[in-house]
């Protein structure tokens, strides 16, 4: 029974990792950009939610109503004013610029919020749970987090394959020059993609902050988890990203059960194993 419990908890944590990863996956799929600062944006979103909660007294989960639109507007502007000018045939400039952003964000957050760790307090939902089997209880918060992750992935998937914006994303990703002939300005399309990505980042940041303490230097670790989930699941496949998150979560839970120090290590090992056996991930995108 203890292993059933571990696997269930691992799956639920996997939802959070999928939230870390979904934005990365989206951005890579649309514009082949690897955002080194992705994890720092997640942490920054947690701080933003903290500020909103301090100012309004809202429950952090409800603060998303404010944090998500702010993050989306920021993402649009970031892409439009900074990242678009780094995109081209050479993949190095966007890597360098997002690495620079990562450093700036960490130090900016340190300057404003100090190195103290903080937490978002969501109230009783954090500890409440319901039993499903003897010795196995599911917490409302991890469950909610997982449901939100599935909903986000489903929403992105729907948007990608059933809306005009999704069509623009796919067409621009296929061939940005021919997309111009359809009247699609790739810079605008990319800005919308980054806006969406940052909306998901905001959700991920709030769940991160409700689940555990956070401080300005947590970003790179979250980037690694997100990155591993994307690669395990297969690049450019959003449902694969969800499964990648779940595999990572379960691996970490099992590792932690064997030896508490092995939690993160077990995730890395499974990641390396997948990379060695299936370099394109478990569920790579089929078409070109």
Partner 1 sequence: MSDILLSVENLEAWYGDAKVLHGLSFELKQGEVLALIGSNGAGKSTLFKSICGLLQKKTGRIAFKNEVITTLVANAIVAKGIALVPEGRKLFPSLSVEENLILGGNVGRKGPWSLQSIYNLFPILKEKRNAPSTSLSGGQQQMVAIGRGLMSNPDLILLDELSLGLAPIVIKDIYDMLPKIIGNGLTAILVEQDVTRALASSQQFLCIQEGRISLEGAPHAFTKDQISAAYFGM
Contacts with partner 1, 268-287, as mask; x by CB under 8 A: -------------------x
Residue 149 buriedness (CB in 10 A; 0-12 / 13-18 / 19+): buried
By beta-carbon proximity to partner 1, the closer residue of 160 and 227 is: 160
Per CB under 8 A, the list member of 88, 134, 183, 279 interacting with partner 1 is 183
Region near partner 1 per CB under 8 A, out of 4-12, 134-142, 172-180, 226-234: 172-180
Does 181 bind partner 1 (CB under 8 A)? Our answer is: yes
Q: Are 207 and 145 in contact (CB under 8 A)?
A: yes
Region near partner 1 per CB under 8 A, out of 95-103, 132-140, 160-168, 258-266: 160-168
Per CB under 8 A, the list member of 54, 100, 128, 175 interacting with partner 1 is 175
By beta-carbon proximity to partner 1, the closer residue of 134 and 183 is: 183
Does 88 bind partner 1 (CB under 8 A)? Our answer is: no
Does 163 bind partner 1 (CB under 8 A)? Our answer is: no
> What does the DSSP 8-state code read for residue 1?
-
Per CB under 8 A, the list member of 117, 178, 212, 259 interacting with partner 1 is 178
Q: How far is the CB of 189 from partner 1 (least distance, A)?
A: 10
Separation between Cα atoms, residue 84 and residue 178, nearest integer Å: 18
Per CB under 8 A, the list member of 147, 180, 269, 272 interacting with partner 1 is 180
Region near partner 1 per CB under 8 A, out of 14-22, 136-144, 171-179, 263-271: 171-179
Residue positions counted in the chain = 288
Separation between Cα atoms, residue 148 and residue 202, nearest integer Å: 12
Per CB under 8 A, the list member of 177, 260, 276, 277 interacting with partner 1 is 177
Rg (CA), the chain: 19
Q: Helix, strand, coil proportions of the chain in percent (round to 5)?
A: 75, 5, 20
Q: Is the dihedral of CA 158, 163, 230, 73 positive or negative?
A: negative
Separation between Cα atoms, residue 273 and residue 247, nearest integer Å: 12
Write the DSSP assignment of 94-140 as a string of letters. Answer: HHHHHHHHHHHHHHHHHHHH-S--B----GGGGT-EEEEETTEEEEH
Q: Which of residues 11-50 bind partner 1 (CB under 8 A)?
A: none
Per CB under 8 A, the list member of 25, 35, 173, 257 interacting with partner 1 is 173
Separation between Cα atoms, residue 260 and residue 150, nearest integer Å: 28
Per CB under 8 A, the list member of 11, 184, 224, 265 interacting with partner 1 is 184
- The contact set with partner 1 (CB under 8 A) reads 164, 167-168, 170-171, 173-175, 177-185, 287-288
């Amino acid at each position: 029974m203890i292993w059933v419990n571990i696997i269930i908890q691992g799956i639920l944590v996997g939802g959070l990792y999928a939230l870390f990863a979904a934005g990365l996956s989206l951005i890579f799929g649309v514009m082949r950009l690897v955002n080194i600062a992705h994890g720092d944006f997640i942490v920054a979103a947690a701080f933003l939610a903290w500020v909103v909660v301090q100012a309004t007294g809202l429950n952090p989960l409800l603060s998303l109503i404010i944090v998500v639109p702010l993050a989306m507007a920021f993402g649009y502007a970031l892409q439009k004013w900074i990242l678009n000018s780094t995109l081209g045939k050479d993949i190095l400039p966007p890597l360098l610029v997002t690495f620079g952003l990562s450093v700036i964000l960490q130090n900016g957050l340190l300057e404003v919020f100090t190195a103290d760790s903080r937490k978002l307090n969501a109230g009783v939902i954090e500890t409440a749970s319901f039993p499903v089997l003897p010795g196995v209880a599911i917490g409302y918060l991890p469950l909610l987090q997982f449901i939100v992750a599935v909903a986000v992935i489903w929403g992105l998937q729907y948007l990608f394959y059933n809306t005009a914006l999704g069509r623009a994303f796919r067409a621009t990703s296929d061939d940005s020059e021919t997309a111009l002939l359809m009247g699609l300005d790739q810079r605008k399309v990319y800005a919308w993609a980054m806006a969406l990505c940052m909306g998901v980042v905001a959700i991920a940041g709030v769940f991160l902050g409700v689940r555990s303490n956070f401080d300005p230097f947590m970003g790179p670790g979250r980037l690694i988890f997100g990155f591993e989930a994307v690669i395990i699941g297969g690049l450019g496949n959003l449902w694969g990203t969800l499964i990648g998150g779940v595999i990572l979560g379960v691996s970490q839970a099992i590792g932690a059960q064997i030896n508490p120090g092995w939690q993160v290590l077990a995730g890395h090992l499974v990641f390396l194993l997948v990379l060695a056996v299936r370099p394109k991930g478990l569920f790579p995108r089929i078409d070109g």
